Amino acid sequence: MSEAVQPVLSMRGIDKSFGGLRAVIDGHLEAHAGEVLAIVGDNGAGKSTLIKVLTGVYQADAGEIRVGGQPAHFRNRRDSINAGIDAVYQNLALVDLLPAPANVFLGHERVVKVLGIPFLDNRGMRRETVRILQERVGVHLDGLDQPALNLSGGQRQAVAIARAVNAADLKVLVLDEPVAALGPQETKATLDLVRSVRDKGIAVIIISHNLEHVFAVADRVQVMRGGRVVGVVNTAESTKREVLGLIVGAETEEVLEA
Ligand SMILES: Nc1ncnc2c1ncn2[C@@H]1O[C@H](COP(=O)(O)OP(=O)(O)OP(=O)(O)O)[C@@H](O)[C@H]1O
Ligand SMILES: [Mg+2]
């Protein structure tokens, strides 16, 4: 990715404390359209907190967020979604008893009027769901009429992403530990999904503890330790060993330079 290209999203100088605990210190990140950025780090490193500041769940004590170069202020999750940023958490994502289209349109259901009486436009929502999955997410989904309960973990992820894409003009998709509870097949499907969404021009930020996955899917990796960003590397020019060194804080030159 050329340096001249403006990031679709940038965060700078983000501080966030909980009481006396400094969860994020001078946090920053840049996300580019059509790129996967991984955030890695030990438990408690501040990854989720930085992302929750981005998605309006938490308000930062200091720092700035820019979307498309313009300053943005997210007081809540809705503000962030309206700016084209959304996060998908695997298990919280879907209403189990509803099929995929109803989940994709949850909260902004389409209605048609027949003889002046409003009805849910189930056919329209189903058609649009197929289109979004195909054109924006890049997957074909069987079981569109099944309750979400019957979908596999990977399929649920696809539906949750389609919902995020549908909720706004999605520019940045955040996945916090998307494969944590998935088996090997499902994991592969989800990583394929990440690539597919990226290829549609969305900036994807993925938090993961699995460096195997990170190196398989991410263009850049950002390492956090003790609330700080301690390094950002291009996966093509780095190794799992180097990233692991940054995560645990081995006294390597890279760490000292970061
Ligand atoms: N709502 C909160 N209230 C108090 N402390 C919090 C809160 N959220 C996070 N923390 C603390 O902030 C620090 C960073 O937590 P965070 O969840 O960002 O870590 P993480 O890098 O996502 O870790 P993990 O890999 O375990 O998910 C931790 O010490 C955590 O206990
Ligand atoms: Mg976390």
Contact 196, 109 (CB under 8 A): no
Strand partners, 245: none
Residue indicated by tokens 């403006």: 6
d(CA 9, CA 65): 7
Going by alpha carbons, the residue nearest to atom 12 of ligand 1 is: 23
In this prediction, residue 2 carries a pLDDT of: 46
Determine phi and psi for 10, rounding to 5 degrees.
Answer: -140, 145
* Nearest CA, atom 4, ligand 1: 18
To test the ligand 1 pocket, which listed residue (47, 49, 177) has its Cβ within 8 A of the most ligand atoms? Answer: 49
186-223 per-position pLDDT tens digit: 788 888 889 999 998 999 999 999 999 999 999 999 99
Q: Does 91 map to a domain?
A: yes
Tell how far the Cα of 48 is from the centroid of ligand 2, in angstroms. Answer: 4
Task: Say if CB 224 and CB 45 are below 8 A apart.
Answer: yes
Q: Which atom of ligand 1 is nearest to the CA of 19?
A: 4
Alpha helices by DSSP H, the chain = 47-54, 77-82, 100-104, 122-131, 153-167, 184-199, 211-217, 240-248, 253-257
* Whole-structure pTM value: 0.88
Residue 71 lies in a domain: yes
4 falls within a domain: no
Ligand 1 midpoint to CA 46 (Å): 6
C-alpha of residue 169 to centroid of ligand 1, in Å: 29
SS3 category, 214 = helix
> Which residue owns the Cα nearest ligand 1 atom 26?
43
- pLDDT of 1 > 50? The answer is no
Note whether residue 183 is domain-resident.
yes
Count: domains in the chain: 1
Domain of residue 204, residue span: 9-257
Q: How far apart are CA 55 and CA 58, in angstroms?
A: 8
pLDDT per residue over 54-93, tens digit each? 999 999 999 999 999 999 999 999 999 999 999 987 666 6
- pLDDT for residue 36 is more than 60: yes
Please state, in angstroms and rounded to a whole number, the distance separating the CA atoms of residues 120 and 104: 14
Q: β-strands 228-234, 62-67: how paired?
A: unpaired
According to the model, what pLDDT value does residue 180 have? Answer: 74
Q: What is the CATH number of the domain that holds 79?
A: 3.40.50.300
Q: What is the pLDDT of residues 174-186, one digit of tens each?
A: 998 877 777 787 7
Ligand 1 test: best mutation among 21, 40, 223, most atoms within 8 Å of CB?
21
Instruction: Flag whether 101 is in a domain.
Output: yes
Q: Pull the structure tokens for residue 198.
A: 């990226």
